[in-house]
Structure 1
């Protein structure tokens, strides 16, 4: 096979298109969160805690796609700012469950509205059926890649 035959056509490469979509979404989310004094990781942390109160540092880090160390630094800042609370002592083991404060819930409500507007704009040219199909196809892609390593659970279960 020649070098030209083995090259990826970036205009049709699913991996490249996903990366481009991800980068564009990231930039758009960043542009609406920055004026609120938030990063995408900050927002992700609050959203995760809203939907699953009591998550540990490790669970939050996995859910926000950052290292445990980065999440710990963020959590310390969020505690200091009164956005989240963490138990003084672990309930069991070494886990310090984290929860949103009323201030954190207010901050999340504003950020969620801004992020939803970005997502709505992103989906605006898709029909309802196309949106459902795209979500199912993306989930299948994630699960297929996770299935290549039997020790790795699908992303939505991590």
Structure 2
């Protein structure tokens, strides 16, 4: 069987391309996030909170498509560095709410420089990146059995 028709050829695997692309793009973010004291997963939490805060841990978990057990240490670290506050809901004490602190809200203005820096570093046009995002959103929906 030739390399071009071998269904198990490494470079033909969507999973391989996605894994390498993910690691590579996260690597582009790393030096941009480091001065803010954030990891990429923490940055995603902050993005969600800047857009939707306050959120319950359950809502945040669903929005980020992260298991609550994975999310909990991220929130603890963000709270320890003063960007978020976790507290029991006033209406329902079983609900753990996450809010931004003033320091966390202020960080947003610094983070606004990240997207243009990433676009520049990738050297791809905005339209091309938007199409890639649409394609990846369809892949995620298909893998999860949901509508995009």
Q: Same fold (TM over 0.5)?
A: yes
C-alpha displacement of 1:48: 0.6
- Judge conservation of contact 1:45–1:64 (CA < 8 Å) in 2: yes
Number of the residue aligned with 1:125:
124
Q: TM-score if structure 1 supplies the norm length?
A: 0.73
- Judge conservation of contact 2:28–2:118 (CA < 8 Å) in 1: yes
| Greater RCO structure (CA 8 Å; 6+ sep) | 1
Q: How big is the alpha-carbon RMSD for the aligned residues of Structure 1 and Structure 2?
A: 2.9
- 2:76 is the counterpart of 1:84: no
Q: 1:13 to 1:78 in 2, by over 3 A?
A: closer
* Distance in 2, Cα, partners of 1:141 & 1:89: 35
C-alpha displacement of 1:103: 0.8
* Distance in 2, Cα, partners of 1:74 & 1:142: 23
- 2:56 is the counterpart of 1:61: no
Number of the residue aligned with 2:94:
94
Q: Can you give the 5+ residue segments of structure 1 that lack an aligned partner in the other structure? A: 148-152
C-alpha displacement of 1:44: 1.2
Q: Can you give the 5+ residue segments of structure 2 that lack an aligned partner in the other structure? A: none
Number of the residue aligned with 1:150:
none
